[in-house]
Amino acid sequence: MASVKVFGSPTSAEVARVLMCLFEKEVEFQLIRVDAYRGTKRMPQYLKLQPQGEALTFEDESLTLSDSRGILRHISHKYAKQGNPYLIGTGALERASIEQWLQTEAQSFDAPSAEMVYSLAFLPPTLPRQNDNGNGGAFNAREATVGSNADASSSKRGVAGSQPAASQTKVSAQKEEEMLKLFEQRKKDLEKLLDIYEQRLEEATFLAGDNFTIADLSHLPYADHLVSDPRSRRMFESRKNVSRWWHDVSGRDTWKYVKTLQRPPSTSTDASAKNGQLGQQQHLPSSTDGHGVKSQRLVQNERHF
């Protein structure tokens, strides 16, 4: 049995970061799915472990953590001699650069991107796509039907992927107008930051230098959602260096595999969960870590709450 356990749903941005880091470092772990589609109230076992009902709990032997970026640091340091050796840097200067950009993500990228994801869930698919200058054009608020992934918990680093489309809700014109204002304001904030990234990536392959690190990794969950949506994709595509960087980081096999884990649980999975059964081991296909090192990555047995 793996000593590392991750409690949470892969659809959570917090959990998705940690899963990718574990894959990059080739750390065997057990994923205990806390079903984000049903909410934490139905899981008294989990609430005993995490009374605040946080989206993520991480256990490594006697250590328990709930902050995803702190967990990234822990994994990268403790398992430095296995998997991708560059996630936390190989020298003091490189590690200082990684920490600078990781803090930038936490303080300046995370909040506006999360709120954009939140607001987009309330806005109609007819929202004008952004022009090259980032201006979306005129828009008249109206009633629209949207998916239920606009859960308020996303403002607390919740869902990284789309929720099931079966549950629909009517959004009032007033609510839609509020979400449009939120979207436009946070888009401006994020575009200013992406302009800084564009300059930085003119001189470096990745944010902290020549190697993919946890500073890049931490951006993936919310950036992936924004790039996947035509209403916000242009922010990344219109910046040459940011676009190239995004293509590189999102194309890693580790992230592609995390995205497969974000699919809604099937009926058979639910049945296994009710019976307390363990899922089968799942393997990533052989892949490179960007430096020619072949590896086989493993997700240990999954359980469901």
Token representation of residue 170: 């009517």
DSSP secondary structure of 154-172: GGGT-BSSPPPTTSEEEE-
- List Cβ<8 Å contacts ≥24 apart for 42-49: 43/305, 45/305, 46/7, 46/305, 49/7
Segment 278-285 shows an average pLDDT of 36
Judged against a pLDDT cut of 70, whether residue 304 lies above it is answered with no
Angle at 274 between CA 272 and CA 276, to 5 degrees: 70
Predicted local confidence at residue 303, as pLDDT:
52
Per-residue pLDDT of 93-122, as tens digits, reads 999 999 999 999 999 999 999 999 999 999
174: left (phi over 0), alpha (psi -120 to 50) or beta: alpha
CA dist 196 and 194 (Å) reads 5
The residue ranking higher by pLDDT, 64 or 37, is: 64
Q: Per-residue pLDDT for 5 more than 70?
A: yes
Q: What is the CATH number of domain 4-124+172-262?
A: 1.20.1050.10
CB 279 within 8 A of CB 302: yes
Residue 184 has pLDDT above 50, yes or no: yes
Q: What is the mean pLDDT of the chain?
A: 77
pLDDT for residue 265 = 59
Contact 29, 4 (CB under 8 A): yes
Report pLDDT for 196: 98
Would you say the C-alpha torsion 53, 277, 296, 255 has a positive or negative sign?
A: negative
DSSP lists the bridge partners of residue 12 as: 159
Q: Residue written as tokens 């803090």?
A: 103
The predicted-structure confidence for 38-61, as pLDDT tens digits, reads as follows 544 444 444 444 444 468 999 999
Scanning the structure block, which residue is given the tokens 């999102």? 250
Spatial neighbors of 90 by CB under 8 A, at least 6 apart, are none
Q: How confident is the model at residue 297 (pLDDT cuts 50, 70, 90)?
A: very low
181 pLDDT band (50/70/90 cuts)?
very high
CA atoms within 13 A on the CB side of 177: 6
pLDDT at 172: 83
Percentage of residues in the chain having pLDDT higher than 70: 65
Domains of the chain: which residue ranges? 4-124+172-262
